[in-house]
C-alpha cells in the first residue's frame, strides 16, 4: 500500500496539537493565553524563516516557484494574510474567551465539531462531495471525543451561552480557513504560504497581547518556562507546515478529521506525565476515534466538483 504522506502529516499535526496543550499546562499560570500564543507562533515563524530563505535563494528555485512568489497578486497577499490571522489570532482569541466562561471539557467537545463544519463548508462551496464513509468517519470521531469527555461534563451550566458560542465560532473560523487555504497552497509553495501567514498572525497577536502587557511578562520568564515555551513554539512551526502540506494534497475534511487525535493525545500524555488515569470512557473513545479515522481516510480521496 502506498504511504499517503499528506494524511501522515495531518495525523502528526493532530498529535502535535495535543502534545502542545499538555506542555502549555506547565506555563499557563505564568504566561497569559494571548502572550503564550504570541510566543508560540513567533518561535514557530523563526523556525520556518531560515528554511524559506534558503529555498528561495536556491538555484533550483529559479523556475516556477520563484516566479510564482514574485508574481503574487496583491489580492492573494491580502487573502493569505487574512487566512493567517484567522487561523491563529482570531481562532485563539475566540477560544480563550470561551474558556473564560465554560470548562475545558465542554470547550474541547464543541471544538471537536471542527471536522464536521469543514465537511459542510467544503461541500457548500463545491470543494468536495460528502460520501457516506467520510460522513460516518467524521461523526464517529466526534462521538469518540464526546465519549472521552463525558465524565468531565457534569458541572452545572452557568446559565448563558456566550462561552459555547465563542468556541463554536472559533471552530467555524478554523474550518473556513482550512477550506479557503487550498487554492493558494496549490498556486504557491507551501513553505512560503506558511511563513507569511504565521508572520501576519504574530503581528496581529502582538497587538492583542498588549492588553496582557506581554513585553514585561516575557522579560520576567524563567529558564524553565522559556524551555517549555520554546518546545511549544518549535513544534508549532513544524506542525503548521505539516498542516498546510496536508491541506495542499488532500481534501480539507480528510485533513481536519485528524484533529480528533488532539484530545486523545492530550489524555494519553496526561496518563504518562501528569499521573492521570485512563478511564473506560477514554478506552472506548480510542476505539471510536480510530474507527472514525479509518472510515474517513480509507480508499481514494473524495471526488471534487
3-class SS letters over 232-252: HHHHHHHHHHHHHHHHHHCCH
The string of pLDDT tens digits covering residues 29-75 is 788 888 888 998 899 889 888 877 776 666 555 455 566 666 777 88
pTM of the shown model: 0.72
Q: Which residue has the cell 475534511?
A: 253
What is the per-residue pLDDT for 302? 44
Of the candidates 84, 122, 80, the residue with the CA atom closest to the CA atom of residue 257: 122
Q: How many domains does the chain have?
A: 1
Q: Which residue has the cell 473556513?
A: 176
Which tops the pLDDT comparison, 55 or 24?
24
Any domain includes 305:
no
Any domain includes 302:
no
Any domain includes 113:
yes
Any domain includes 303:
no
Of the candidates 48, 36, 83, 295, the residue with the CA atom closest to the CA atom of residue 197: 83
The string of pLDDT tens digits covering residues 251-300 is 887 787 787 777 777 777 777 776 666 677 777 877 787 777 777 766 54
Any domain includes 37:
yes
Any domain includes 135:
yes
Any domain includes 76:
yes
Q: Which domain holds residue 108?
A: 5-297
Q: Mean pLDDT, the chain, as a whole number?
A: 78
Cell (9 digits) for 5 = 504522506
Any domain includes 16:
yes
Amino acid at each position: 500500500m502506498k504511504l499517503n504522506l499528506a494524511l501522515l502529516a495531518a495525523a502528526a499535526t493532530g498529535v502535535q496539537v495535543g502534545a502542545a496543550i499538555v506542555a502549555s499546562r506547565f506555563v499557563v499560570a505564568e504566561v497569559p493565553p494571548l502572550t503564550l500564543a504570541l510566543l508560540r507562533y513567533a518561535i514557530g515563524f523563526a523556525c520556518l524563516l531560515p528554511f524559506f530563505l534558503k529555498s528561495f535563494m536556491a538555484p533550483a528555485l529559479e523556475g516556477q516557484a520563484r516566479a510564482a512568489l514574485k508574481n503574487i497578486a496583491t489580492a492573494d497577499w491580502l487573502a493569505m494574510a487574512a487566512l493567517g490571522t484567522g487561523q491563529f489570532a482570531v481562532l485563539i482569541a475566540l477560544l480563550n474567551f470561551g474558556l473564560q466562561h465554560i470548562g475545558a471539557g465542554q470547550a474541547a467537545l464543541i471544538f471537536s465539531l471542527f471536522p464536521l463544519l469543514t465537511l459542510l463548508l467544503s461541500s457548500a462551496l463545491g470543494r468536495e462531495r460528502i460520501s457516506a464513509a467520510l460522513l460516518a468517519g467524521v461523526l464517529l470521531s466526534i462521538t469518540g471525543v464526546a465519549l472521552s469527555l463525558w465524565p468531565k461534563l457534569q458541572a452545572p451550566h452557568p446559565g448563558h451561552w456566550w462561552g459555547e458560542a465563542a468556541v463554536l465560532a472559533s471552530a467555524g473560523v478554523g474550518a473556513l480557513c482550512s477550506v479557503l487555504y487550498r487554492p493558494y497552497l496549490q498556486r504557491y509553495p507551501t513553505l512560503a504560504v506558511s511563513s507569511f501567514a504565521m508572520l501576519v498572525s504574530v503581528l496581529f497577536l502582538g497587538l492583542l497581547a498588549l492588553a496582557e502587557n506581554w513585553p514585561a511578562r516575557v522579560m520576567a520568564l524563567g529558564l524553565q518556562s522559556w524551555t517549555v515555551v520554546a518546545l511549544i513554539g518549535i513544534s508549532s512551526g513544524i506542525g503548521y507546515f505539516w498542516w498546510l502540506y496536508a491541506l495542499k494534497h488532500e481534501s480539507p475534511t480528510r485533513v481536519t478529521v485528524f484533529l480528533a487525535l488532539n484530545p486523545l493525545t492530550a489524555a494519553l500524555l496526561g496518563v504518562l506525565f501528569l499521573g492521570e488515569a485512563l478511564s473506560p470512557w477514554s478506552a472506548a473513545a480510542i476505539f471510536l476515534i480510530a474507527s472514525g479515522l479509518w472510515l474517513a481516510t480509507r480508499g481514494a480521496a473524495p471526488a471534487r466538483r
